[in-house]
Amino acid sequence: MPQTSPLIQQHFSVTSCPPEVSLTVPQDRWRSWSSEPGAMNPFDGSGSPRHDEVGDSRCRWARFSSWLECVCVVTFDLELGQAIELVYPQDVKLTEKEKTSICYLSFPDSYSGCLGDTHFSFRLRQSVGRRALRFRDNVYNRDAPVTLQTEVSHFFGYVYFRQVKDISVKRGYFQKSLVLVSRLPYTHLFHSLLQIIAPEFFEKLEPCLEAVCNEIDQWPSPVPGLTLNLPVMGVVLQVRIPSKTDKPGGSPVKQSATENLVLAPTLLPTIHELDLFKCFQSVLIHLQMLWELMLLGEPVVVMAPSPTVSSETVLALVSSISPLKFCCDFRPYFTIHDSEFREYTTRTQAPANVVLGVTNPFFIKTFQSWPHVVRLGEVKMAGDLPKQMKVKKLSKLKALDTKPGIYTAYKTFLHKDKILIKRLLKGIQRKRPSEVQSAILRRHLLELTQSFIIPLERYMASLMPLQRSVTPWKTPPQIRPFCQDEFMSTLDHTGPQLTSVLKGDWIGLYRKFFRSPNFDGWYRHRHKEMTQKLESLHLEVICDADLLGWTKDKSEVEIVDLILKLREKLVKVRRLQLQVKDGVLDRFDAFINSIIRSLPEDLQTVLSAH
């Protein structure tokens, strides 16, 4: 049998391939492949998603499921306690563990005393064994900002809870929650949606819910960069889905053309942002500390008077390091019934890297060993200004009537931005609108995070091989490893002091950041992006090479090896939705087909069939 040429061995070395891929295929196997009934072909040149994914996209609720996993109605049963009354669509499969978690997380605990309508958010861990992300989720995640990507292992719950007196009920109160369950962190959009549908639902119940779900199933899928019109119950919500190519802190969303709409749309300026000023108004002087705690992924407990304050504060904290993704766990609303309660409250090991929002005073005793506890109360005014909380010793966190404050021994690496604090406090005195105050706050946090992350991005880019080193005759070159000491040596000339006025121990902050889950998550994401870029460049240079001329004096086995490897690369590029120049994939397909046509007819038949 002819041996594979040194050129092919160099180009497609076995050591660079997954162990299950064999690059040399004995000639006697080709005929047997073509004769095996139902033989599975690993080299599908079409690059299409798997059959079940295609089927999934055609199913009845395909568009609905690109926005929501399901809608749940949770009620209070005298015998069972909280219980799921309805799940829609009805064929959605939630595990018993997920149902139990949704039940407990959808009601404020008895200490909150929430009368009337209350809205809040929660986040719960999906049960083990759920299938991986769908094909369309991969496409969405490719183009979405990292902070808005689809959750892989958690669900978000968006709750509209109603508790009103009702003498017709044994307990004397009507208690029910409408819950939107989604993998998307679109907090503002889904709470705006609940404000429209929940009041009507509590009057008309299931028929109303079915109609709403059918309307959502007509919505276009969320595509980053597009402005969409989303009709529901006689209202059209106009939203823009952010894209990873958007300029951070760019202009607010403007209303787009509406000539084809019967109803004038209601413009939502954001799908995910919160009122940061409202969330942080009592901790403005400690904003620098809270930002550092989030950046470093420190364990933090937020104790709040209600699930609304708890969830909004946790989500605001997590978003404070945007556009950097918060890679630790976070629970906007956490209860003693949560399935991870024991995991997060054990005293036999150090607290986990998680931010928990709680309302039950019982947690004060439970979390005494945690290093950072933010105890919130109702916002109190000191004259015209909201009273600012103080930093207190953890040893004072004992009694159930613990006063509001930040209980920690943490010392910040950077100094406070006193100019920002004065500007915000002066804005309160001048009755500056909350949305303007929030914009100032968001801009400050964005610039602070960018000042920290830009030196890391610049150094990471220097680890990328030069484009001229990518050739068709070799596997793509490796990305150089990240060296912390080498990075530190760059800070004198390209450090954050170039873009930030804040003084302090930036180097100490970087050293601690390197030990955090947020650095690990950032590095893995950037390394993956760079690896995929190398794959795309490699495909493009192969496309420009004269491989067809190379095959003229090669054996059949060598040519078949080449075809298989090229097909494998093409399938990988399409499966991962890698971005390549226009026309490259079509040229690559045509190139493979032209090589196949140069082979004997029996091999052509086998290769064309597989």
pLDDT single digits (tens) 303-348:
999 999 999 999 999 999 999 999 999 999 999 888 888 888 887 7
Give residue 221's pLDDT.
94
CA 225 – CA 216 distance, rounded (Å): 20
List of residues 6+ apart from 291 with CB closer than 8 A: 320, 321, 445, 448, 449
Phi-psi region of 583 (alpha: psi -120 to 50; beta: other; left: phi over 0): left
List of residues 6+ apart from 448 with CB closer than 8 A: 291, 500, 502
CB 541 within 8 A of CB 470: yes
pLDDT digits (tens, 9 = 90+) for 245-282: 998 776 555 655 555 556 688 999 999 999 999 999 99
Residues facing 229 on adjacent strands = 238
Give residue 112's pLDDT.
60
The secondary element (H helix, E strand) that includes residue 295 is helix 287-295
The residue with greater pLDDT, 42 or 537, is 537
Q: Where do the DSSP E strands lie in 15-144?
A: 70-77, 81-88, 116-125
Give residue 165's pLDDT.
81
Query: Region 533-538: what's the mean pLDDT?
Result: 88
Sign of CA dihedral 290, 296, 297, 298: negative
Give residue 111's pLDDT.
59
342 exposure class (CB count in 10 Å sphere: 0-12, 13-18, 19+): exposed
Categorize the per-residue pLDDT at 110 as very low, low, confident or very high, splitting at 50, 70 and 90.
Answer: low
Categorize the per-residue pLDDT at 47 as very low, low, confident or very high, splitting at 50, 70 and 90.
Answer: very low
Give residue 391's pLDDT.
92
**Averaged confidence pLDDT in the chain:** 83
Does the structure show a pLDDT above 70 at 531? yes
CB 63 within 8 A of CB 218: yes
CB 82 within 8 A of CB 105: no
% of residues, the chain, pLDDT over 90: 50
Give residue 22's pLDDT.
31
Here the contacts of 13-19 (C-beta below 8 Å, separation 24 or greater) are: 13/475, 16/475
Query: Region 382-386: what's the mean pLDDT?
Result: 77
Give residue 262's pLDDT.
61
List of residues 6+ apart from 418 with CB closer than 8 A: none
Give residue 40's pLDDT.
31
Indicate the residue type of 41: N
Categorize the per-residue pLDDT at 146 as very low, low, confident or very high, splitting at 50, 70 and 90.
Answer: very high
Phi-psi region of 38 (alpha: psi -120 to 50; beta: other; left: phi over 0): left
604 exposure class (CB count in 10 Å sphere: 0-12, 13-18, 19+): middle
Burial 145-157 (b: 16+ CB within 10 A, else e): bbbbbbbeeebbb
CA 466 to centroid of chain Cα atoms? 31
Give residue 21's pLDDT.
32
Query: Region 470-476: what's the mean pLDDT?
Result: 83
Token pair for 403: 């006063």
Residues present in the chain in total:
610
Categorize the per-residue pLDDT at 378 as very low, low, confident or very high, splitting at 50, 70 and 90.
Answer: confident
Q: Is the pTM of this model over 0.75?
A: yes
Q: Which residue has the tokens 């030069």?
A: 466
CA 276 – CA 442 distance, rounded (Å): 7
Does the structure show a pLDDT above 70 at 29? no
Domains by residue range for the chain, with CATH: 64-214 (3.30.450.200), 274-379+386-517 (3.40.50.11500)
Query: Region 489-502: what's the mean pLDDT?
Result: 90
- Work out the angle at residue 184's Cα, subtended by the Cα atoms of residues 179 and 189, and round it to the nearest 5 degrees: 65
CA 268 – CA 8 distance, rounded (Å): 56
Token pair for 394: 């953890």
The residue with greater pLDDT, 579 or 34, is 579
CA 409 – CA 394 distance, rounded (Å): 7
Highest mean pLDDT out of 328-332, 403-407, 554-558: 328-332
